[in-house]
């Protein structure tokens, strides 16, 4: 009934989902490039201004599971609509320059709305589109998700070249209002379900995620041997263990652990984690290579960096179409192999290597990412019960966010760790006097990225036969 009511408007519904998937992921990275300008304007240290990025990601990630569960309880579409309005309100507040503390409040409201929308996006797609169209629909949404994650620096730079920093937030308002109008017109409110809500589970998982993400964030600055970092990560582990033990004793848990008995789902989210880690190796490291090591201008470097998101834009729809025609996990496997090969080629980059090597590496990683985005959402979401689509979609989004944060932390740790070992002392910036140290660190990091991509390919490859059985049933 739900599907038939929304069927005539389903592609318009996809527009609203795509817009918000892009904006909520974009706002996790677009602020990075504006941090120096915002710190100067608001008269706070740059290290303190980094909270505008970290706080958004921490709050967003900590609330994904609770809002996914709430979407299963009272309707995924209803929560999505609430989230769109909340996110637009937070964006408007963030664009009003009333000082640092007000900006932090606005970023928390943005993250609250972002969690509401992202937690239920894939569940809405799965419940709205029939299997024959789901690959293409997932391709559209996944393209917007991926673009939001990697387009922040380039789009932020373009906005800041013509406007002051509040515009990076205010640009969300008209787009968000259009998407909100489309969602109000094209979506019903979903079907509520009876049940209780796991409040203690929410607190424990939020503690685990927030302390884990913050520990990884601190590790990028202080290293993993710092006592504060170790204590924060230890708190995350303790909270995670307590959460798992507590959930096993609940009749209506926040995260039904039996969902991980579905082999395809579990291997799918593991693959999401690994592949998003690899994607952020390139996002973090390649600007250093082009601008610092090669000495290219920001404009030239930006053009070369844009090859990655452009390839995703072109190949994600093709991956969705291919998934509708072929074995779905096999398409994701093909994308993972492209990413692994591109990362291995990236590991051959040298200080004076032809730029064609960088271009080939980036093209392969971008094509692979595009092919991967569409089918992986279908793999994860199509094998869980309909009454758990919200929690499955939110956990998929959590795995993606954890992969992005972990990828950033591991990439920088490997890079600066290698450079420090070669220099014989701690290196925390680009070693201008010894660019060969950076090249060695980059090569080691890209080998690590290739290994992670291969692990992701193995995980998704193990789902091919089970998926064939699932399709028959």
| 321 and 295 within one domain | yes
Q: Where residue 5 falls among pLDDT bands split at 50, 70, 90?
A: very low
Q: What is the pLDDT of residue 129?
A: 78
417 shares its domain with 307: yes
Please check whether residues 234 and 272 belong to one and the same domain. no
Using the predicted structure, report yes or no on whether residue 390 has a pLDDT greater than 50.
Answer: yes
Residues 206 and 153 in one domain: no
pLDDT-derived band at 62, boundaries 50, 70, 90: confident
Whether residue 373 contacts residue 145, with contact meaning beta carbons closer than 8 Å, is answered with yes
The pLDDT, as a whole number, for residue 32 is 66
Asked whether residue 96 carries a pLDDT value surpassing 80, the answer given is yes
Determine contact, residues 219/412, Cβ cutoff 8 Å: no
Domain shared by 294 and 155, yes or no: no
Look at residue 8 in the predicted model and tell me its pLDDT: 64
Q: Among residues 179, 195, 211, which one ends one of the domains?
A: 195
Number of domains in the chain: 3
Task: Yes or no: say if 187 and 81 are a contact pair by the CB < 8 Å rule.
Answer: yes
46: left (phi over 0), alpha (psi -120 to 50) or beta: alpha
- Give me the percent of the chain exceeding a pLDDT of 70: 92
SS (H, E, C) 334-361: HHHHHHHHHHHHHCCCCCCCCHHHHHHH
Lowest-pLDDT range of 131-135, 137-141, 235-239, 248-252: 131-135
Does one domain contain both 189 and 286? no
Residues 142 and 156 both lie in one domain: yes
When pLDDT is averaged across residues 46-65 and rounded to a whole number, the result is 80
Say what the alpha-carbon torsion angle 395, 396, 397, 399 is, to the nearest 10 degrees.
80
- What is the percentage of the chain residues whose pLDDT exceeds 90? 30
What the block records as the tokens of 167 is: 């515009």
Q: Say whether pLDDT at 443 is over 90.
A: yes
CATH number at residue 330: 1.20.1250.20
- Residue 147 and residue 4 share a domain: yes
Domain span at residue 203? 198-253
For residue 140, pLDDT beyond 60: yes
The predicted model scores a pTM of: 0.79
Q: Is residue 3's pLDDT more than 60?
A: no
- pLDDT in the model for residue 338: 97
Residue 444 in contact with residue 418, Cβ under 8 Å?
Answer: yes
pLDDT class of 392 with cuts at 50, 70, 90:
confident
> Domain boundary residue among 195, 212, 230?
195
> Given this model, what pLDDT does residue 266 score?
93
For the segment 341-365, what is each residue's pLDDT rounded down to a tens digit?
A: 999 999 999 988 899 999 999 999 9
- 266, 368: one domain: yes
Of 253, 268, 290, the residue at which a domain comes to its end is: 253
Q: Sign of dihedral through CA atoms 79, 80, 82, 87?
A: positive
| Whether residue 323 is found in the same domain as residue 175 | no
**What pLDDT shows up at residue 270?**
95
Q: Is the pLDDT of residue 131 over 80?
A: no
* Residue the block writes with tokens 């999505």: 80
The pLDDT of residue 46:
63
Contacts 24+ apart (CB under 8 A), 37-40: 37/160, 37/165, 38/103, 38/165
Across 38-52, 81-95, 242-256, 273-287, the highest mean pLDDT is recorded for 81-95
pLDDT of residue 4: 40
User: What pLDDT does 112 receive?
Assistant: 94
Q: Are residues 127 and 214 in the same domain?
A: no
Q: Is pLDDT above 80 for 191? A: no
What is the predicted pLDDT for the residue at 287? 81
Q: Which two tokens stand for residue 232?
A: 């924060």
> Is residue 220 very low, low, confident or very high in pLDDT (cuts 50, 70, 90)?
low
Q: What is the pLDDT of residues 293-347, one digit of tens each?
A: 888 876 677 778 778 888 887 888 888 788 777 888 999 999 999 999 999 999 9
Would the pLDDT of 108 be above 80?
Answer: yes
pLDDT at 104: 92
Whether 221 and 319 map to the same domain: the answer is: no
Instruction: Please tell me the least confidently modeled range out of 249-253, 418-422, 447-451.
Output: 249-253
């Amino acid at each position: 009934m739900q599907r038939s009511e929304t069927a005539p408007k389903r592609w318009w519904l996809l527009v609203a989902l795509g817009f918000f998937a892009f904006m909520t992921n974009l706002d996790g990275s677009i602020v990075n490039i504006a941090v120096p300008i915002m710190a100067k304007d608001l008269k706070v240290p740059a290290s303190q201004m980094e909270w505008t990025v970290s706080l958004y990601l921490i709050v967003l990630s900590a609330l994904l599971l609770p809002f996914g569960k709430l979407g299963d309880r009272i309707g995924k579409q209803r929560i999505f609509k609430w989230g769109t309005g909340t996110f637009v309100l937070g964006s408007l507040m963030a664009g009003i320059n009333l000082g640092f503390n007000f900006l932090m409040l606005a970023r928390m409201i943005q993250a609250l709305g972002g969690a509401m929308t992202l937690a239920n996006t894939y569940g809405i797609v799965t419940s709205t589109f029939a299997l024959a169209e789901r690959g293409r629909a997932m391709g559209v949404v996944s393209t917007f998700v991926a673009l939001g994650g990697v387009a922040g620096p380039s789009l932020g730079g373009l906005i800041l070249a013509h406007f002051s920093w509040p515009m990076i937030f205010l640009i969300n308002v008209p787009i968000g209002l259009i998407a909100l109008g489309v969602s109000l017109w094209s979506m019903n409110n979903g079907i509520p379900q009876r049940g209780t809500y796991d409040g203690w589970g929410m607190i424990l998982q939020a503690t685990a995620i927030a302390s884990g993400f913050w520990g990884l964030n601190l590790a990028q600055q202080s290293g993993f041997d710092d006592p504060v970092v170790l204590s924060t990560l230890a708190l995350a582990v303790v909270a995670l263990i307590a959460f798992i033990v507590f959930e096993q004793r609940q009749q209506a848990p926040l995260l039904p652990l039996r969902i991980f008995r579905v082999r395809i789902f579990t291997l799918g989210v593991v693959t999401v984690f690994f592949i998003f880690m690899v994607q952020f190796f390139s996002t973090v490291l390649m600007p250093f290579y082009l601008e610092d090591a090669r000495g290219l201008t920001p404009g030239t470097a930006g053009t070369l960096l844009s090859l990655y998101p452009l390839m995703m834009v072109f190949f994600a729809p093709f991956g969705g179409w291919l998934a509708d025609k072929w074995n779905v996990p096999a398409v994701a496997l093909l994308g993972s192999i492209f990413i692994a090969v591109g990362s291995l080629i990236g590991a051959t980059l040298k200080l004076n290597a032809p730029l064609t090597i960088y271009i080939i590496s980036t093209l392969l990683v971008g094509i692979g990412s595009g092919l991967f985005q569409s089918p992986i959402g279908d793999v994860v979401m199509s094998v869980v019960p309909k009454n758990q689509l919200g929690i499955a979609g939110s956990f998929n989004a959590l795995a993606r966010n954890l992969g992005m944060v972990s990828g950033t932390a591991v990439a920088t740790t490997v890079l600066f760790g290698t450079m420090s070992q070669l220099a014989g002392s701690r290196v925390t910036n680009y070693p201008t006097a010894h660019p060969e140290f950076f090249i060695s660190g980059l090569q080691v990091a890209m080998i690590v990225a290739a290994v992670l991509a291969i692990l992701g390919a193995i995980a998704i490859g193990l789902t091919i036969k089970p998926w064939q059985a699932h399709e028959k049933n």
